[in-house]
Homo-oligomer: A and B are copies of this chain.
Amino acid sequence: MSRYAIGVDFGSESGRAILVDTADGRELATAVYPYSNGVIDKRLPLPDRDVKLPPDWALQDPEDYLRVFQVTIPAVLRDSGVDPADVIGLGIDFTACTMLPAKADGTPLAVIPELRANPHAWVKLWKHHAAQPEADRINATAARMGEDWLPRYGGKISSEWFFSKALQILDEAPDVYAQADRLIEAADWVVWRLTGVETRNPTTAGYKAMWSKREGFPDREYFAALDPRLADVVDTKMTRDIAVMGERAGGLTDEAAGWTGLRPGTAVAVANVDAHVAVPASTVTEPGRMVAIMGTSTCHMVLAPDEHLVPGICGYVEDGILPGFFGYEAGQSCVGDHFAWFVEHAVPGRYLAEARDRGIDIHVLLQEYAAALKPGESGLLALDWWNGNRSVLVDAELGGLLVGATLATTAPEIYRALVEATAYGTRVIIEALETNGVPVNEVIAAGGLAEKSPLIMQIYADVTGKPYRLSGSSQTPALGSAMFGAVAAGPDAGGFATIGDASRAMARLKEHVYEPNPAARAVYDVLYREYVRLHDYFGRGENNVMKTLRGLRANARGEGA
């Protein structure tokens, strides 16, 4: 008898459910719900008041998340014809850190009429970047106090992370902070709403909230040093009781069963993060095989049996990706976004006209032209910092650089140079990991950019010298969440005892292997050395022109330096 699991993947713009067969991971149905209020970055979606948001804000509506369950799960049940009784488990993954304030019963502050017009009552999406002053305070205070958790995060906490956002609420809306009984990741909040049980997943706690299995959270004195009112934030608004990955958080409530059409009591897994669930869904359950989720930005993850300090990575967390391993994560903040910017702002109309005439995507056309070039033939080299540099420089203030243009330089040549630049950026990350004791023998890529671009995959293999393979599913995170759902259900219900077992049964890779081409590697080795020299010159303080330019721009716009 077949058993099924459902995975729900919450992205930035929409939520997506898939229903898979637990025997082999086969995908029977999929459904997407685009959030009705999307990313809220200009004004609050209020019918009766106009509340504008400052620059760098990015909010979401918590009720959009519940609508994902209400719309997509009935849809996949209907489309697959699967009997809800045969669905043994449900897992979810989320963007992170995406967090919200709630009451003790789970009611989000954003739905409380007297708080609804306060932007701080809403969900802060991962890419809410308005908490930089708070992040700066968190870093400066930690450095001053010699906090031993700071090196685990490459020496810097991001403005995107949990306590930066929490501190911004306290700074700017102390009344909202006071009325919040809970400050919680949206990932955990939706599991709470499905099961009636409040759990806190170890992934976001570890990667976004400075928690570790051995040390717990930073101590009370540290939070008090940031702000006396923050001293007891963990004990009053969070919990020290962090769940174990793969555990069953609870069973579906009657209410949630009504939303979804699933049986009450259906196992729901502890929440997880989109990139991280993609690791076992890409067949990776052991050290040495990096997973790269390549989309607008790229997230790199690799497991190791032991603990290493790797300067400039986003962080490493014990049991943070898979139980039994230290999970290392690094990031590139501008990959698909880079190519999208280029098409929007720097590609002449004749290329778009040709793509339209031939009925192909403009990226496919540019890659076709770029593929006709040999390594080195563009004469160009770029630093892929259009959106700053996450790993290994951890510096959002850096800017892009293109060198070598001539009067004969064409758009496809620049496009190829930008692709190559992101590949050099990946090689910097891989070399930082390997130099510090974390081997990377091959890379499994997932995400839309990886699947659609054989040229990009080959360039990455040639630049890094590592074979690249593609995850078998085109919905890798959702598949990973379904796998965790099957683990939450457990073997007695027809699921799995461990995520490793689930991965071996349900995950697969595409056949093709992008092997590094030795001739191309030789040229890229030369170019990479030049890249590293520019990377260090502009990125490590020798020439701070990028920051000077950013300061002048801010001055010109009257934003202060």
Residues of A that sit less than 8 Å from B by CB: 334, 337-338, 341, 344-350, 352-353, 373-381, 386-387, 399-407, 409-411, 414, 523, 526-527, 530, 533-534, 537-538, 543, 545-546, 548-550, 552-553, 555-557
* Residue pair A380, B526 in contact (C-beta under 8 Å): no
Among B402, B404, B549, contact of A550 (Cβ-Cβ < 8 Å) = B404
* Residue pair B410, A399 in contact (C-beta under 8 Å): no
Residues of B within 8 A of A527 (CB): 552
Residues of B within 8 A of A526 (CB): 548, 552
* Residue pair B402, A402 in contact (C-beta under 8 Å): yes
In the bound assembly, the distance between CA atoms of A555 and B553 in angstroms comes to 40
* Residue pair B405, A386 in contact (C-beta under 8 Å): yes
Residues of B within 8 A of A552 (CB): 375-377, 379, 523, 526-527
Residues of B within 8 A of A405 (CB): 386, 399-402
* Residue pair A545, B557 in contact (C-beta under 8 Å): no
18 A-B Cβ contacts within 8 A? A345-B348, A347-B348, A349-B349, A373-B556, A376-B549, A377-B552, A377-B553, A377-B556, A379-B553, A381-B545, A381-B549, A386-B405, A399-B406, A401-B404, A404-B549, A523-B552, A526-B552, A534-B543
In the bound assembly, the distance between CA atoms of A228 and B410 in angstroms comes to 44
* Residue pair B549, A533 in contact (C-beta under 8 Å): no
Known: A379-B550, A523-B556. 12 other contacts (CB 8 A): A337-B407, A375-B552, A379-B399, A381-B549, A399-B404, A400-B406, A401-B401, A403-B545, A404-B546, A530-B548, A534-B543, A534-B545
In the bound assembly, the distance between CA atoms of A557 and B380 in angstroms comes to 14
In the bound assembly, the distance between CA atoms of A295 and B403 in angstroms comes to 24
Residues of B within 8 A of A374 (CB): 556-557
* Residue pair B345, A553 in contact (C-beta under 8 Å): no
In the bound assembly, the distance between CA atoms of A555 and B376 in angstroms comes to 8
Among B341, B373, B549, contact of A403 (Cβ-Cβ < 8 Å) = B549
Instruction: Report A296 CB to chain B, min CB distance, Å.
Output: 10
* Residue pair B352, A546 in contact (C-beta under 8 Å): no
Instruction: Report A352 CB to chain B, min CB distance, Å.
Output: 6
In the bound assembly, the distance between CA atoms of A523 and B554 in angstroms comes to 12
* Residue pair B401, A402 in contact (C-beta under 8 Å): yes
User: Nearest B residue to A352 by beta-carbon distance?
Assistant: B349
In the bound assembly, the distance between CA atoms of A411 and B341 in angstroms comes to 11
User: Nearest B residue to A350 by beta-carbon distance?
Assistant: B349
Among B348, B353, B386, B404, contact of A400 (Cβ-Cβ < 8 Å) = B404
Instruction: Report A557 CB to chain B, min CB distance, Å.
Output: 6
In the bound assembly, the distance between CA atoms of A376 and B375 in angstroms comes to 35
Instruction: Report A94 CB to chain B, min CB distance, Å.
Output: 24
* Residue pair A411, B346 in contact (C-beta under 8 Å): yes
User: Nearest B residue to A341 by beta-carbon distance?
Assistant: B407
* Residue pair A399, B407 in contact (C-beta under 8 Å): no
Residues of B within 8 A of A341 (CB): 407, 409
In the bound assembly, the distance between CA atoms of A512 and B499 in angstroms comes to 77
Residues of B within 8 A of A377 (CB): 552-553, 556-557
Residues of B within 8 A of A349 (CB): 348-350, 352-353
* Smallest CB-CB A-B distances: 5 pairs: A349-B349, A376-B552, A400-B405, A377-B556, A379-B553
In the bound assembly, the distance between CA atoms of A380 and B556 in angstroms comes to 12
In the bound assembly, the distance between CA atoms of A348 and B348 in angstroms comes to 5
Residues of B within 8 A of A546 (CB): 403-404
* Residue pair A543, B537 in contact (C-beta under 8 Å): yes
* Residue pair A409, B543 in contact (C-beta under 8 Å): no
Residues of B within 8 A of A553 (CB): 376-379
* Residue pair B399, A345 in contact (C-beta under 8 Å): no
Residues of B within 8 A of A345 (CB): 348, 409-411
Residues of B within 8 A of A533 (CB): 543, 545
In the bound assembly, the distance between CA atoms of A144 and B466 in angstroms comes to 50
- Between A399, A411, A538, A543, the greatest number of chain B beta carbons within 10 A of the residue's beta carbon is seen for A399
Instruction: Report A373 CB to chain B, min CB distance, Å.
Output: 8
* Residue pair B406, A386 in contact (C-beta under 8 Å): yes
Instruction: Report A280 CB to chain B, min CB distance, Å.
Output: 32
Instruction: Report A361 CB to chain B, min CB distance, Å.
Output: 16
Residues of B within 8 A of A537 (CB): 537, 543
* Residue pair A400, B403 in contact (C-beta under 8 Å): yes
* Residue pair B375, A556 in contact (C-beta under 8 Å): yes
Residues of B within 8 A of A548 (CB): 526, 530
Residues of B within 8 A of A386 (CB): 405-407, 409
Residues of B within 8 A of A538 (CB): 403
User: Nearest B residue to A410 by beta-carbon distance?
Assistant: B345
Residues of B within 8 A of A523 (CB): 552, 555-556
In the bound assembly, the distance between CA atoms of A533 and B545 in angstroms comes to 9
In the bound assembly, the distance between CA atoms of A402 and B342 in angstroms comes to 14
In the bound assembly, the distance between CA atoms of A373 and B538 in angstroms comes to 26
Instruction: Report A76 CB to chain B, min CB distance, Å.
Output: 35
User: Nearest B residue to A373 by beta-carbon distance?
Assistant: B556
In the bound assembly, the distance between CA atoms of A546 and B377 in angstroms comes to 13
Known A411-B346, A533-B545; judge A406-B387 contact (CB<8 A). Answer: yes
In the bound assembly, the distance between CA atoms of A337 and B408 in angstroms comes to 11
In the bound assembly, the distance between CA atoms of A553 and B552 in angstroms comes to 35
